[in-house]
Amino acid sequence: MQGQGRGTIHPPLGIALDGDFGHRLDALLAISMLSGFAAKGEARQIALCSSRNGLKAAQLADVVSGFYAGRPVVGMRGAVGATPQGMVGMPEAGRVDEAPPLAAILAKKSPDGSAVYRSGIASVRDTAENAVLVRNVLLAQFDANAVIVLAGPASGLAGLTTLYGARPQISAKARELVVACGSYPSGAADPSIAADVAAARKLFADWPTPIAAVGSEVGAALAYSGASFDTDFAWAPTHPLVDAYRVRAAGPQDVPASALAALLYAVHPDAGYFKVSESGMVSVLDDGRTQFTPGRGTHRYLIVDPAQTDRVTKLFRDLVSAQPPARPGRRGGD
């Protein structure tokens, strides 16, 4: 473990984001929100993983991350990768998600016929397995200076605890796991949970750090403004999040934002943005429902504070739509 001596200056909190980027627009928005936190020096993206096995979703995450990265970096095999690590994690097992709906933006063409959005991910060899990627980046973090945020099926993350030597590393390096899935204290089945019930059950049962759960009820109460896509991104002539919103929405509508709430809590848990339940345990039922039982345990769930709703939704909008910093040596973010 790294030393924690006097005078040691820690970098901002490291966030490993594992999201269902091909199906959940709020997971894609969380990539841009994390960029907003990074620009303010409040957090860092240390890993980016797609929750489902499928190249298109990984490419979509790579495109959005690259759009906000400030400048591209060289990834594996010389490809231009977008993430700070040059790759996106992706589960190796499970049904392959060939055509997630939001990935339709990858087919968008410019007037000359070239692709508007390009990814450095050409094949599965340009990705890393989620659990291995997260374990490896955790090793480089100061103790308790990382948080893992899950906004999708647990398919890729559940295996992290079974990797050799991973459990003590998770306990030392990760302050918390924040899960933007389920409904609390109980409610309807969540598609992200139902997509891989066994993985979700394993994650909640085996994870060695405290878990904060952010339910769909939080995402609905703190929805991201659909009007933002018409006004707040005008600084970019074409924008992957705006195009993803157009693919998702049949008309103007707000976006349930549990992933954004999870990320905000991960970065600022003590800022008073949310109320938090008593401690207990989250269990996963066979049909994909989650159930919270108070008492002994290290799980809690977030509760919307009506007095903070306007403050939180405005912060979502400010962070998600913030223009990325200019690339070195160039002006105006060109």
What are the sequence ranges of the domains in the chain?
A: 13-320
104 pLDDT higher than 90: yes
Residue 94's pLDDT band (cuts 50, 70, 90): confident
pLDDT in tens, 236-280: 999 999 999 999 866 679 999 999 999 999 999 999 999 999 999
Give the residue-averaged pLDDT of 101-115.
93
Q: By the 8 A CB rule, do 20 and 102 touch?
A: no
CATH 3.90.245.10 fits 13-320, yes or no: yes
- C-alpha–C-alpha distance, residues 291 and 277, integer Å: 13
C-alpha closest to that of 320 among 211, 212, 213, 244: 244
Average model confidence (pLDDT) across the chain: 90
pLDDT at 76: 32
pLDDT at 70: 55
Least confident window among 18-22, 78-82, 132-136, 236-240: 78-82
Report strand pairing: 73-74 vs 174-179.
Answer: unpaired
Give the residue-averaged pLDDT of 96-120.
92
Give the residue-averaged pLDDT of 126-152.
96
In the chain, alpha helices (H): 25-39, 55-68, 130-139, 166-173, 191-194, 197-206, 216-221, 228-231, 240-248, 258-267, 309-320
7 pLDDT higher than 80: no
Report strand pairing: 13-19 vs 43-50.
Answer: parallel
Residue 199's pLDDT band (cuts 50, 70, 90): very high
Q: By the 8 A CB rule, do 95 and 78 touch?
A: no
Mean pLDDT highest for which of 46-55, 92-101, 317-326?
46-55
Residue 6's pLDDT band (cuts 50, 70, 90): low
Give the residue-averaged pLDDT of 18-31.
97
Residue 1's pLDDT band (cuts 50, 70, 90): very low
- C-alpha–C-alpha distance, residues 262 and 151, integer Å: 8
200 pLDDT higher than 60: yes
Q: Which residues contact 222 (CB under 8 A, 6 or more apart)?
A: 257, 258, 260, 261, 304, 309, 312, 313, 316
pLDDT at 72: 40
pLDDT in tens, 158-185: 999 999 989 999 999 999 999 999 999 9
Please give the backbone phi and psi of residue 313, each rounded to the nearest 5 degrees, phi first. Answer: -65, -35
pLDDT in tens, 287-320: 999 999 999 999 999 999 999 999 999 999 999 9
- C-alpha–C-alpha distance, residues 34 and 264, integer Å: 9
